Amino acid sequence: MRNRFTHKHLLNFLRDSEPEDYRNFLRMDQESSDYLLELVRPDIEKKDTNMREAISASQRLSITLRYLASGIDLEDLKFTSAIAPQTLEFIIIMETCSAITKALNENIQV
C-alpha cells in the first residue's frame, strides 16, 4: 500500500526518461545514487516482518537524499513518502545519514 502513494514511481519515471529531473530531485545523478546505495545498503536494509513490509534500502536512501537536498519539512515529506514524520526523522533519516557518513569515511583517504 505504501509504495502506491510514494515518490518511488516518480523516481522510476525520472530515472528512465528524465535524467536531468532525477538529478534535480535528489541533487545527485543516477550513477552516484546507485553507487551510494550499494555502499550503504548493508547498513540500512531491513527485513519484512509478519506485521509489515520493510521500507526498502532504495526508498530509505531516496527519502534521505530528498530531505537533505531540499530541506523539505518532515510534515511535507510524509505526504510523498507515506511514512510518519517521527519514523522519518528518528529512524530512516538518522540511520541513513549515519550509514552515509560511515560509508564515505571508509572511501575517502585523508
Give the three cell numbers for residue 41. Answer: 545498503
Q: Cite the beta strand spans of 8-71 per DSSP E.
A: none
**2 close to 60: Cβ distance less than 8 angstroms:** no
pTM for this prediction: 0.84
Residue with cell 564515505: 104
Which residues, 6 or more positions from 92, have their beta carbon under 8 angstroms from its beta carbon? 55, 60, 63, 64, 83
- Each residue's pLDDT tens digit, 27-76: 999 999 999 999 999 999 999 999 988 999 999 999 999 999 998 999 88
